[in-house]
């Protein structure tokens, strides 16, 4: 059956090329759109995912990770003294103005972290590719991502500027740390961050918690949540909360998935039309086989095999195109997260899409009266 299916498909090469193009575009759209979505979501939660904290504690009612309301430092001590908390660290996060070399300003997202020397912090810049991140504890030291160089109009470690009118010096570079808000992320020591972000006396946005070994996470969470105005989340919960906030509030999820669904519809229509016209072309031959005793199932297998060949080749071509698109988009600071899981899911979608596209042809063959071969 494979031989017949393959030869019938390849016999009309132009039509086959159109079918493969249809599936390929469909596969590429699904991979790129869903990959972009996951890329954005990875970006949105990247700081949370990179932390080593067991719990993230913030002000109750905070909806957005980036736009969280700070509280004062007394709250930090209250959290740190909760039974079951082994270690607590402060994070301050807000937006400030970064002075550009040409005299202009650019909004940046300052992330203040604790940088006690000789102590592995629960949150610190990662993927450092240049400079000395240990200098982050120095007053005015900042760490930036290399991808933000053009936006910030700087070109080297050691660049000096001002944030909110306060001195800043780039001491290290990271790779691949970007913000969902598109504002460059600037890591600084907590004290330095406080000088950039005048939010009151000793502000803190989040308290990161490392639990005592063996304690029940839910018990400690309940103890923290019992404190006034606080809400705690495990790191995975915080990550998911942030992703769903950006996904639902911005409509980015619906947007990307709508385009992906449109891609599937395009593929479905193209493959369906190609298979159906191919079936019509060979209707007499199929009728002849049915007249001579071929069962419907045998001919249905031929049509399904054609659909699977189209799906397989279209998936390979579409998958390669998606890798090309990923590389092209990387130049525009867009991350297309193409995981093996996404490829596997897209392969399943492609097979299902092509199978459903073959339904019309299958119905046509099932209804084909073998006596019709005598009708001229």
Partner 1 sequence: MQAALSLDDTLPGVAPVSTTLARMVGIGKTYGSGEHAVAALSDATLDIRRGEVTLIEGPSGSGKTTLISILGLLLKPTNGEVWIDGNNVAKLGERDLPALRAKHFGFVFQGFNLFPALTAMENVAIAIRMKDTSIKDPEAEARRLLDLVGLAPRAHHLPADLSGGQKQRVAIARALGGSPPILIGDEPTAALDTKTALSVMELLRELASTAGRAVVVVTHDPRLERFADRVVRVEDGHIQGIDSRRTHP
Q: Is 375 in the site for partner 1 (CB under 8 A)?
A: yes
Q: Taking a C-beta distance cutoff of 8 angstroms, is the pair 89, 189 a contact?
A: no
Q: Which of 25, 23, 58, 11 is nearest to 233 (CA)?
A: 58
For the bound state, the minimum distance from the C-beta of residue 29 to partner 1, rounded and expressed in Å, comes to 31
CB of 59 or CB of 284, closer to partner 1: 284
| DSSP track, 52-75 | --SEEEEETT---STTPPPEEHHH
Q: Which of 197, 209, 353, 373 binds partner 1 (CB under 8 A)?
A: 373
For the bound state, the minimum distance from the C-beta of residue 17 to partner 1, rounded and expressed in Å, comes to 15
Residues 6+ apart with CB under 8 A from 18: 270, 274
Count CA atoms within 13 Å of residue 200 on its CB side: 11
Tokens of 284: 């007499």
Cα separation, 146 vs 192, in Å, equals 21
The 12-51 contact track toward partner 1, x by CB under 8 A, reads ----------------------------------------
Q: Taking a C-beta distance cutoff of 8 angstroms, is the pair 34, 343 a contact?
A: no
Residue 83's CB is within 10 A of a number of other CB atoms, namely 9
Q: Which of 152, 289, 354, 368 binds partner 1 (CB under 8 A)?
A: 289
Q: Is 3 in the site for partner 1 (CB under 8 A)?
A: yes
Burial of 251 (0-12, 13-18, 19+ CB in 10 A): exposed
Q: Is 371 in the site for partner 1 (CB under 8 A)?
A: yes
Tokens of 352: 């299902």
Q: Which of 201, 226, 292, 332 binds partner 1 (CB under 8 A)?
A: 292
Which value, in Å, is the radius of gyration of the alpha carbons in the chain? Answer: 29
CB of 234 or CB of 288, closer to partner 1: 288
256 to 285, contacts with partner 1 by CB under 8 A? 282, 284-285
CB of 117 or CB of 293, closer to partner 1: 293
For the bound state, the minimum distance from the C-beta of residue 300 to partner 1, rounded and expressed in Å, comes to 11
205 to 244, contacts with partner 1 by CB under 8 A? none
Residues 6+ apart with CB under 8 A from 29: 259, 260, 262, 263, 266
Q: Which of 299, 336, 337, 342 binds partner 1 (CB under 8 A)?
A: 299
Stretch that binds partner 1, among 103-111, 153-161, 266-274, 289-297 (CB under 8 A): 289-297
Q: Which residues bind partner 1 (CB under 8 A)?
A: 1, 3-4, 7-8, 10-11, 282, 284-285, 287-295, 298-299, 369-371, 373-375
């Amino acid at each position: 059956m494979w031989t017949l299916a393959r030869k019938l498909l390849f016999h009309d090469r132009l039509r086959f090329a159109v079918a493969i193009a249809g599936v390929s575009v469909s596969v590429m759209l699904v991979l790129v759109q869903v990959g972009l979505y996951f890329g954005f979501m990875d970006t949105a939660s990247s700081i949370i995912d990179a932390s080593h904290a067991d719990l993230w504690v913030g002000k109750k009612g905070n909806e957005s990770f980036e736009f969280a309301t700070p509280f004062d430092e007394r709250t930090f001590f209250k959290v740190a003294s909760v039974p079951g908390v082994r270690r607590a660290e402060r994070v301050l996060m807000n937006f400030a103005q970064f002075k550009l070399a040409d005299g202009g300003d650019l909004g940046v997202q300052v992330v203040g972290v604790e940088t006690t020397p000789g102590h592995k912090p629960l949150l610190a810049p990662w993927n450092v590719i240049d400079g000395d991140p240990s200098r982050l504890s120095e007053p005015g030291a900042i760490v930036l991502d290399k991808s933000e160089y053009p936006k910030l109009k700087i070109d080297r470690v050691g660049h000096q500027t001002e944030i909110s009118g306060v001195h800043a010096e780039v001491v290290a570079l990271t790779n691949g740390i970007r913000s969902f808000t598109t504002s460059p992320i600037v890591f600084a020591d907590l004290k330095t961050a406080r000088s950039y972000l005048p939010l009151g006396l000793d502000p803190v946005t989040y308290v990161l918690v490392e639990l005592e070994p063996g304690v029940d996470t839910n018990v400690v969470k309940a103890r923290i949540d019992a404190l006034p105005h606080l809400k705690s989340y495990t790191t995975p919960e915080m990550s998911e909360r942030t992703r769903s906030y950006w996904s639902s509030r911005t409509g980015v999820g619906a947007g990307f998935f709508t385009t992906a669904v449109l891609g599937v519809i395009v593929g479905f229509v193209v493959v369906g039309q190609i298979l159906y016209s191919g079936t019509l072309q060979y209707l007499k031959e199929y009728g002849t086989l049915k007249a001579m005793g071929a069962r419907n199932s045998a001919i249905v297998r031929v049509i399904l095999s054609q659909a699977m060949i189209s799906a397989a080749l279209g998936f390979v071509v579409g998958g390669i195109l998606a890798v090309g698109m990923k590389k092209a988009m990387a130049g525009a600071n867009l991350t297309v997260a193409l995981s093996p899981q996404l490829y596997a899911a897209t392969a399943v979608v492609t097979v299902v899409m092509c199978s459903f596209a073959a339904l019309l042809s299958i119905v046509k063959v099932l209804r084909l009266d073998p006596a019709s071969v005598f009708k001229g």
